[in-house]
Amino acid sequence: MKDLARLISHQATSPEREHSTVRALRPEPRTHYHPPMSETTPTLPEPSRLMRHRALAWLGVRWRIVHTSAVLLVLALSPSSYTRSHRDAIARNLVAACARNLLWSSLLSALISIVIIRIVLVTSISYGLSQYALEMLIRVLVLELIPLTAVLFVAVRIAVPSLVRTASSRPERADAHPLDPERLAREALPIAITTTFAVLLLATVSCVLAAVLAYFSVHGITAGGLASFTRTFGRVFDPTVSLLFGLKTLLFALAAGMLPVASALVDRIGAAPRASVMVQALVRLLFVILLIEAASLVGNYY
């Protein structure tokens, strides 16, 4: 009986021993010293997000300026924009801008032409290259310098002062609705057309004045050198150069007419003072003018 009781007791305690043995052999779970990585997309660092936001804002402002300039150009080419009231406003702006600035632009161009003509003539005579003086004067003055002077004069005297009125009419809300074409035709289009026409007019008058002064400085007050002057002028202004010159002057006029007005309309007046808006518009215009002039130089001399 004792042997039977010992056998039953041994069979009853063997599963507990076996279970404790399995638990002793089972490896302990490892302790994680680092938290598990999140499955969500990591956020950008703060400087990267700030730079990305600024880049997108910069591109957005430039795109709105280009879009507004294109809308102004389309309105300028559309006959429906020239209603009676719009024609009266455009005519008043044209007379006021051109009559007041034509004389001063002519005097400035004449002064610059006389100084450069004198420098070129004295230098060419001292080096024995007087036969190339007239061609150099035509290239420097008529082809390059005078159109650039005209567009800068119009930008400072006409375009920038007109931005005050354009900026004042810009709504200060950041979420304002895109500009209505009717409003553009009523408020911004007269200023754009006036500035564009002023550049073309002042550039034409200044180029003719510079050519006349160059002729009188080289040949004197006589008609004997007219054939030589005409031949030299035609040799400089061949068909390719004439096309590039006309295209450059037209681009200057469109840039001075459309870009400052579009820049003033797009910039938020409520976030920046008017002086800052005008300076930004002038800087953008100067940058575009430099690009056009660089492209013209490459086309003429390379």
Q: How buried is residue 102: exposed, middle or buried, by Cβ count under 10 Å (0-12/13-18/19+)?
A: middle
Say what the pLDDT of residue 190 is: 87
Q: Which residue has the tokens 């180029």?
A: 207
- Sign (positive or negative) of CA dihedral 234, 237, 239, 243: negative
User: Exposure of 295 by Cβ count < 10 A (0-12 exposed, 13-18 middle, 19+ buried)?
Assistant: middle
Task: Please answer whether residues 157 and 121 qualify as being in contact, where contact means their C-beta atoms are separated by less than 8 angstroms.
Answer: no
Residue whose entry in the numeric block shows the structure tokens 């009523």: 186
**Which regions in the chain score pLDDT beneath 70?**
1-45, 164-179, 268-275
Q: Crossing angle of helices 160-168/239-266, nearest 10°?
A: 40
* The pLDDT value given to residue 25: 47
**Longest CA–CA separation in the chain, Å:** 155
The 10s digit of each residue's pLDDT in 45-101 is 577 777 887 888 878 878 888 888 888 898 889 888 888 888 888 888 888 888 888
Length of the chain: 302
pTM of the model: 0.76
Amino acid at 203: A
Contact 258, 73 (CB under 8 A): yes
What whole-number distance in Å separates Cα of residue 206 and Cα of residue 191? 22
pLDDT number for residue 224? 84
Whether 218 contacts 196, CB under 8 Å: no
Pair 139, 242: CB distance under 8 Å: no
Measured CA to CA, the distance from residue 93 to residue 289 in angstroms comes to 24
Number of helices (H), then strands (E), in the chain: 11, 0
Residue 66: what pLDDT? 87
Confidence at residue 270, expressed as pLDDT on a 0 to 100 scale: 45
**pLDDT for the residue 277:** 73
Q: Report how far residue 118's alpha carbon sits from residue 116's, in angstroms, rounded to the nearest whole number.
A: 5
DSSP E strand stretches across the chain: none
d(CA 127, CA 119): 12
- Quote the tokens at residue 186: 């009523």
| Spatial contact of 285 and 259, defined as CB atoms under 8 Å apart | yes
Give me the residue spans of the domains in the chain.
Answer: 79-301
Quick check: 221 and 124 in contact, CB under 8 A? Answer: no
